[in-house]
Structure 1
Amino acid sequence: MTCGHSASAIARAVAPMDKRARLEVRIPEKLVLITGAATQEKLAEAITEAGYTPETVGASAEVRGEAIQAARRPLRR
């Protein structure tokens, strides 16, 4: 994924499955994080049908979100 076109194509592929899904696009990292109700299997199928190769990375979005929030908090002494 090198431009916004790829992210848009993935968003269009995911939309019919989960209209309320949130996508976080990180073009330099070639990464799209999807948070929603659809299963990973259904998302992977839709992304594959759109012509892309999905890959599960790291922890779930829920856990990752908690880690991001923790990282933003100031350290207490």
Structure 2
Amino acid sequence: MPTFKVPNMTCGHCAGAVTKAVQTLDAGARVEIDLKSQTISVESSAEAARIVAAIERAGYPVATA
């Protein structure tokens, strides 16, 4: 399950936006968010690069955790 650091993700609204961005690519994706560490773990059939691109299009920069 790839994990990504999303430094600007600080609240429930952010978490929802990031989850929605990932699930736009793969509706069945399992997304686990830890706001305290600002990380997101994703179980999905989508490639990691596509997941990162979707999150960044939603306005959140991503770094590999």
TM-score bin, normalised by smaller chain: 0.7 to 0.9
Q: Could you tell me which amino acid in structure 1 is paired with residue 50 of structure 2?
A: K
Q: Write out aligned runs for 1:1-77 (5 A).
A: 1-57=9-65
For the pair shown, the structure with the greater C-alpha radius of gyration is 1
TM-score normalized by the length of structure 2? 0.80
How many positions carry a matched residue from both structures? 57
TM-score normalized by the length of structure 1? 0.69
Q: Which runs of 5+ in 1 are unaligned?
A: 58-77
CA distance in 1, matches of 2:58, 2:43: 18
Higher relative contact order, chain-length normalized (CA < 8 Å, sep 6+):
2
Q: Which runs of 5+ in 2 are unaligned?
A: 1-8
Say which structure is richer in strand. Answer: 2
The CA RMSD measured in Å over matched residues stands at 0.9
Q: CA offsets per residue over residues 42-72 of structure 1, 9 Å max, x none?
A: 0011011000011222xxxxxxxxxxxxxxx
Say which structure is richer in helix. Answer: 1
Over 2 Å off, 4+ runs: none
CA distance in 2, matches of 1:11, 1:43: 10
Q: Could you tell me which amino acid in structure 2 is paired with residue 52 of structure 1?
A: Y
